[in-house]
Amino acid sequence: RKEVEQDPGPFNVPEGATVAFNCTYSNSASQSFFWYRQDCRKEPKLLMSVYSSGNEDGRFTAQLNRASQYISLLIRDSKLSDSATYLCVVNNYGQNFVFGPGTRLSVLP
Amino acid sequence: EPEVTQTPSHQVTQMGQEVILRCVPISNHLYFYWYRQILGQKVEFLVSFYNNEISEKSEIFDDQFSVERPDGSNFTLKIRSTKLEDSAMYFCASTSQGRETQYFGPGTRLLVL
C-alpha cells in the first residue's frame, strides 16, 4: 500500500461548484497533515494545515480522521483560479514529509 | 514577504558531470529540505538538514548526492555524477520548526543529456 494516496482525478467542475478531495495515509503514527496546491511547473504552496478538530479558511475546509487515516479537502464556490493540482502531505516522523500523487482540478467557465 | 530562492532556474548538463544546485532559505528558518519531482510524477523527499547535519534522507539520496550549508545563507545540493534519470525539478524548502509548514523555492529544472 502506498504511503499517501489521493483521488486519481482529474476533476472537471463548473465555476461555483463544490468539490471534495480525499486522501488516505498508511502510517498510523503520522504526526502532521497539510494540503498544498501546485500550479503547472511551479512549486507547491501551502493551502492549509489540517488539524484533528477540522479547520476552515474561507471557501476551504479540511478534515482529519485519525481513526480512518483519512484527510479531506472541500472547496466551495470554486473559482477559475482554483484550477491546480492539490497535494496531500503527511509528516510521518522526524523531518520526513511524504507527498501524495496529487489530484488535478480544472474549474471550467 | 520572505521567500526561498533557488539558482539556477534551469540547468542542462551532460551525463556524468557534477552539478550544484543552490538555495537560499528564509533567513530565520532552521530546517532545510531538498525534494525532486520528475515530470508528471509526485514530489519526492530527498533529504532534510538541521543544525549543520543531515537529519533524514530517503533511499533516493545515495552516495551521488550531498548537501552543504557553506555559509549562513546558502544551502546546496550536489550531484556528483549525473545520470539521465536525475532529470527532474529540484525544490528546496525551509521551515522554522520541524514538522511544520514548509515554504518552497521556485525550483531548479535539471536536464541531463
Query: What is the percent of chain B where pLDDT is above 90?
Result: 80
Task: Please report residues of A whose CB lies closer than 8 A to that of B104.
Answer: 43-45
- DSSP symbols for B67-91: EE--SSS-EEEEESS--GGG-EEEE
Once rounded to an integer, what is the mean pLDDT over residues B97-107? 84
Query: What is the percent of chain B where pLDDT is above 70?
Result: 98
Once rounded to an integer, what is the mean pLDDT over residues B50-71? 92
**φ, ψ for residue A81, nearest 5 deg:** -70, -10
The cell for B85 is 534519470
Once rounded to an integer, what is the mean pLDDT over residues A10-17? 96
Q: What is the dihedral of CA A26, B97, A55, A13, to 10 degrees?
A: -70
Residue of B nearest to A99 (CA): B43
Residue B98 has pLDDT above 70, yes or no: no
Task: Please report residues of A whose CB lies closer than 8 A to that of B33.
Answer: 95, 97
Among the partner-chain residues A34, A42, A99, the one whose CB lies closest to the CB of B101 is A34
- What average pLDDT does the structure give for chain B? 93
pLDDT in tens, A96-109: 789 999 999 999 99
Residue of A nearest to B57 (CA): A96
Task: Please report residues of A whose CB lies closer than 8 A to that of B41.
Answer: 101
CB contact under 8 A, B106 and A91: no
Residue of B nearest to A32 (CA): B99
Instruction: Provide the pLDDT for residue B97.
Output: 77
pLDDT in tens, A41-90: 899 999 999 988 889 999 999 999 999 999 999 999 999 999 999 999 99
CB contact under 8 A, A94 and B42: no
**DSSP letter (8 states) at residue A109:** -
pLDDT in tens, B13-26: 999 999 999 999 99
Instruction: Provide the pLDDT for residue B70.
Output: 84
Instruction: Provide the pLDDT for residue A23.
Output: 96
